[in-house]
Structure 1
Amino acid sequence: MPVTVQKQEETGVPAHAAAALRCPHLGAQYNPFAGPHVENPHPFFEKLRKEEPVTFSPMLNMWLVSRFEDITTILKDPARFSNKDMLGSGTHLTEEAKAILAKGHDTRHVLLGMDPPDHTRLRRLMNRGFTAQRINGMAPFITKMANELVDKFVSDSRADLVEQLAYPLPAYVILGIMGVPSEDVWKIKRWSADWQQLTFEHIPAEKQVEMANGVIEFQQYCVRLIEERRKNPREDLTSYLVAVEDDGEALNMDELVMAIGASMLSAGHESTTALMANTWKLALEHGLWEQLRANRELVPKFCEEASRFDSVQHSMLRTAREDVMVGGVKIPAGSRLMLLYAAGSRDESLCPHANKLDIHREKVPQHLTYGRGTHFCLGAPLARLQFQITTNVLLDRLPELKLVPHQDYGTWQSIVLRQMKHLKVEWTHKV
């Protein structure tokens, strides 16, 4: 149903509360941080799509939107649905943590939390640097890194593909693009986790100060990197961003720190780790490994179908700028909306038998994993390239791969991302 402007009713009750009271209450059951909605949210999402496609979550203080058409309509309408509150979605920060973060750089310049026209300007500049030529030029490096990581466990007959491959590889790749020393990878992974968790998870008060200090250390690292590239530019994306101008105006320090630190070094690898691990798990669970090995043309197609079937980028958020109707439900101005990508990508309106993982679909539909509209994921081509190269390396070198039975994948979920801590596999090693 299209999103239409709706005038607020004169009820004497605050609009947000009144609308929530009128709304059915499946949303009250949703918990994205623990329980069955982390392990396998799809039965609940199917119920939402059929019975309450737009419903209120008291726990999150957000409206859940689960149908494909409603989600895409919102994503394509930044004039009425803002991204500006995107980065205030997780932790309720303590005063001490707020004071520490206030010493850092202005997070209003993070691409993910910006609206046009400011977003348009910054995205245009980043697009110019994040070219297809630059991305495709990373293919030899990705192949080399994937083989070196597999070398470390190929003779062991057992491995954890998250810890030993999907976790380190995307970080090394984004550091290579940015021109950051590879020996700094683990520091950046730790700082990135601090930033992401404070932004999108519920972090206990006693852990917030340490994480906030980690965010400031990360920003200071980015400042030193920026200053070094100003003196000694190289052929890397950091040097490009430092030098680029838009109508004679260069990026200021806040914009540079957010573009390099938050948008690239932080966001540039976490979702790719989740994508690779989850897609390999689906291939092994559904007995598709041998089919992929026999027909490598299926690898990119399977990446898209697996992303549609079980999106690790399970949601994104928007804020209503004005009173609107979404899916027949009145949403007051100022309300937060949680767009359930993982639910929308299994909508039957998107493709037949949407609840089936089908590697042989004639055409995989354009799922929601990478978003839509102005905020379509900048790193989608790089994520796809890493998946395809690394999957082919595994198919070449570990053809008889199997899941270790009865394992704990350590699945966890933030507001926006669903990820596994482990993917243990085994194979018969042939000398």
Structure 2
Amino acid sequence: MYSEHSSIVIHEISKLQSPEQLWSPYDWYHDMIVNNPIYYDEKQNVWNVFRYDDVNRVLSDFKLFSSIRKRSVSPIPPVITRVDINSTDPPIQRDIRKLVSSAFTPRSLKEWEPRIRGIAKELIDNMKQMNKPDMISDLAVPFPVTVISDLLGTPRQDLHYIKNWSDILFFPNSEVDVTDQAKRKYRAMSEFNEYLLPIVKEKRQNPEQDIISDLTLAAYEGTQLTDEEVVTFSLGLLAAGNETTTNLLGNMFYTFAYEQKGIYQEILSNRSLISNAIEETLRYRFPITLDRVLTMDSDVLGVPMKKGDVIVIWLGAANNDAEQFPEPNKFDIHRENSNKHLSFGKGPHFCLGAPLARLEAQIALECFIEAFADIVPTETFNPALHLHKGTQNLLTLPVELKIVDKSII
């Protein structure tokens, strides 16, 4: 039975229990959009919204649908600072966000682009030498975590620690043992804090060209951020710049190699389609859920809801709503409104790392195209058998890569 502080287990709501159902939830999305667009789950005492327009409304109206909440689909341990960007609303959230968002402005990203491109080229050059490359372990995982670690200013030799903490903290609740998962999250948070605090203290004394150094110089409410608040910000940036890009790259290359033959060749011949391919991947296969809390009684979604009620927002379903995206189950890099997807959220809580994720995917695909003439399956591959337990995220993606023959260019 749920309590006021209990976590929300997504797959207990959806009943997508098998790996096959997790990987291909489209029939269930369609059924809920048509037959249960506003669905109340009694077991966990949460409302669920699926239609594009409803999801868009909930995400956009922070005054009615608040992010200040006690229950979540992917909770991380609470932080006792002034700057918990994910659990506040404007105007406080807006002020906090200004401090961090400078790292993701077009100007800032332009300055980082050569470093990001260098990381992508290094990883892709290594893949040329591999007999059996894996798009997840050899590119999709190391690329974004290396980028965000470099931008933050943490040592590269510690990447495996950062990746492990990120996985534990930001993966959604498992239906197996939520209590044990909560303990692992607290332990990961503690270890991350212990790791990062000395780095923050050092950079405050000797600033360098990185985000942590910039944050030690920033001010909020008339005072500089404390070391602990810089750590909190850095944790949020780690989330914003890591898992999203890993899943985006894995899902995109899976589609190229295993699901829609010929798309990669089409992009090779018309590189202006790269951005379209990225946006359509974000729309087509990006099963994200978020949550909000009602601030007052309301029937704005068509059914009476009470103040304090929790709303689970199914972005993956909204992105597959046929009213917004005709033939939603078709991956179409020529779709004109792919960029209207809601995978990065909407409104004041729009994903802080969205510009970085898009830039990373753009650079990764550009560098990949320069190196490889084709990406093809290696053997029979069932993605449902290669998912992180209880998630829709690929653990592995074996492919065969055909290297570009520079002699005929």
Q: 1:354 aligns with which of 325, 328, 332?
A: 328
Conserved? CA contact 2:137–2:396, under 8 Å: yes
Alignment of 1:223-262 (within 5 A): 223-246=197-220, 248-261=222-235
Aligned equivalents of 1:273, 1:87: Cα separation in 2:
26
How many angstroms does 1:148 deviate by? Answer: 1.6
Matched residue SS, 1:401: strand
Q: 1:83 aligns with which of 67, 90, 102?
A: 67
Conserved? CA contact 1:192–1:266, under 8 Å: yes
Match of 1:291 in 2: 266
Instruction: Give the TM-score of the pair, scaled to structure 1.
Output: 0.83
Please tell me whether residue 165 in structure 1 is matched to residue 165 in structure 2. Answer: no
Aligned equivalents of 2:338, 2:181: Cα separation in 1:
43
Aligned equivalents of 1:398, 1:302: Cα separation in 2:
17
Match of 2:353 in 1: 379
Distance 1:429 1:275, change over 3 A: closer
Conserved? CA contact 1:33–1:412, under 8 Å: no
Conserved? CA contact 2:174–2:181, under 8 Å: no
User: What is the root-mean-square deviation in Å for CA atoms of aligned residues?
Assistant: 2.7
Aligned residues: 391
Distance 1:429 1:136, change over 3 A: closer
Aligned equivalents of 2:289, 2:306: Cα separation in 1:
21
Match of 1:272 in 2: 245
Alignment of 1:183-222 (within 5 A): 183-197=157-171, 200-202=173-175, 204=177, 205=179, 209=183, 211-222=185-196
Matched residue SS, 1:338: strand
Conserved? CA contact 1:32–1:413, under 8 Å: no
Tell me the percent identity.
Answer: 27
Matched residue SS, 1:137: helix
Please tell me whether residue 128 in structure 1 is matched to residue 112 in structure 2. Answer: no
Distance 1:319 1:242, change over 3 A: same
Aligned equivalents of 2:17, 2:327: Cα separation in 1:
28
Match of 2:7 in 1: none
Aligned equivalents of 1:77, 1:252: Cα separation in 2:
31
Distance 1:227 1:333, change over 3 A: same
Distance 1:208 1:368, change over 3 A: closer
Distance 1:382 1:238, change over 3 A: same
How many angstroms does 1:71 deviate by? Answer: 0.8
Instruction: Give the TM-score of the pair, scaled to structure 2.
Output: 0.87
Aligned equivalents of 2:297, 2:404: Cα separation in 1:
65
Match of 2:342 in 1: 368
The one-letter amino acid paired with 1:269 is N
| Greater alpha carbon shift after TM alignment, 105-114 vs 48-57 | 105-114
Q: 5+ residue gaps in structure 2?
A: 5-10
Aligned equivalents of 2:231, 2:97: Cα separation in 1:
15
Match of 1:70 in 2: 54
- Output one character per residue of 1:178-231: Cα deviation in whole Å (capped at 9) or x when no partner: 11111111111112223224x644563456545532320101222212211111
How many angstroms does 1:401 deviate by? Answer: 1.0
The one-letter amino acid paired with 1:282 is T
Q: 5+ residue gaps in structure 1?
A: 1-15, 17-26, 94-100
Q: 1:315 aligns with which of 281, 286, 289?
A: 289
Match of 1:329 in 2: 303
Matched residue SS, 1:323: coil
Aligned equivalents of 1:320, 1:66: Cα separation in 2:
17
Match of 1:411 in 2: 387
Distance 1:127 1:193, change over 3 A: same
- Output one character per residue of 1:236-261: Cα deviation in whole Å (capped at 9) or x when no partner: 11111111124633223443221112
Aligned equivalents of 2:340, 2:33: Cα separation in 1:
19
How many angstroms does 1:76 deviate by? Answer: 1.2
